[in-house]
Amino acid sequence: MTLAAPAPYAGTAVATRPTLTVDLAAIAENTRFFARRTPGEVMAVVKADGFGHGAAAVARTALGAGATRLGVTSIAEALDLRAAGLVAPILSWLNPVDAGWADAVHHDVELAVASREHLDAILRDAPGARVHLHLDTGMARDGVAPDAWAGLCLAARRAEQRGQLDVVGVMGHLACAEDPEYPDATGRTRFAWGLRVARATGLRPSQHHLAATAATILDPLAQHTMSRIGAGLVGIDPTRTVPLGGALTLTAPVVGVRSVRAGTPVGYGHTWRAPTPTRLGLLPLGYADGLPRVASGRASVSIRGVRVPVVGRISMDMTVVDLGDLAVVPGEVATVFGAGDDGEPTVRDWADAAGTLEHEIVTGLGPRLDRVVVGAPALRSLR
């Protein structure tokens, strides 16, 4: 028996297994958009594995396209980026009081201070830390409450004077920045107040940052020395006003095709019956891969450039589509979502079908998907 030479890699991965393709060129383009849009610096927010796109790849791409800093929630996420070789400034803003502050500072990670307890723990465990004081500007979630702000600023200033701390930033976060009917003037005003208080105690933070993606698009008044951009980098525009490029394409092979009679019930719970004789296609991915079950009966996929509806319940590992007259054969590839350039559904279509936002779709994609990265700058320059 002779062994055939291995099949060329390109194409085969896409045709045989559910595959998520991340286009770094789109992320670079989106980054350039925000770098032009803001007068200050762009912090690339790559929490939650770069919104499901791969934290290190998104970080590297954004830094190569105009971002100057990185932002994540936990110290663990920051250390992963350091381990991947990223040397840009990194801010971590969400940690328990007893986090590994010393390790973070050892790896040159800047830390947000969200309470007096956090400040005391950082002073105790990680002298010399570079910190951003985080003011709650109206979400009652993270950050220091306004009535504790002056006290925190004073304590931080004293520690700075003793040489124990370096307050490099003041930050806030807006609750309603994507709503043009409800510009978050309260949050803006509170942040401006917080900055004045900090300066009155003698602090001189070189960075003050409030705007994320939505405010950077809609609200020039919310822009300070830096914008923290996460969703926008990966093509999500919460304001639905600017053309950003989606960076994900999810494809899956059709693994089965069957003809059914009118009235045939499909899937768990028999939630759908074929209204006419038709052909059904089976896709080997489901809610374990991040397709929201609640989008059953509402979402569609694209095969041969034609949209076909998802029918019956999306189950853990399988999704059924109604092929109608399309003469699809097993092995053909369905595009579950993509950038939308060829009429295929987008992440936004899936989010709309599920009654959620795009962020939840992209960060919920499962580990079982094959992942392929395209559009890296080095590859593009070879072409």
User: Would you tell me which residues interact with ligand PLP (CB under 6 A)?
Assistant: 45, 47, 93, 173, 212-214, 228-232
- CB of residue 253 vs ligand PLP: minimum separation in angstroms? 32
Task: Decide: 110 and 139 in contact? Cβ < 8 Å.
Answer: no
Catalytic residue among 9, 182, 268, 287: 268
Catalytic residue among 9, 47, 182, 287: 47
Dist. CA 311–CA 298, nearest whole Å: 8
Using the minimum distance from each CB to ligand PLP, give the nearer residue, 110 or 344.
110
- CB of residue 83 vs ligand PLP: minimum separation in angstroms? 22
Using the minimum distance from each CB to ligand PLP, give the nearer residue, 231 or 301.
231
Question: Residue of minimal CB distance from ligand PLP?
Answer: 230
Using the minimum distance from each CB to ligand PLP, give the nearer residue, 47 or 208.
47
Is 182 a catalytic site residue?
A: no
Using the minimum distance from each CB to ligand PLP, give the nearer residue, 47 or 157.
47
- CB of residue 135 vs ligand PLP: minimum separation in angstroms? 11
Is 287 a catalytic site residue?
A: no
Tokens 């999704």 belong to residue: 319
Using the minimum distance from each CB to ligand PLP, give the nearer residue, 232 or 235.
232
Both tokens assigned to 87:
């040397």
- CB of residue 172 vs ligand PLP: minimum separation in angstroms? 9
- CB of residue 299 vs ligand PLP: minimum separation in angstroms? 23
**Catalytic residues, which ones?**
47, 268
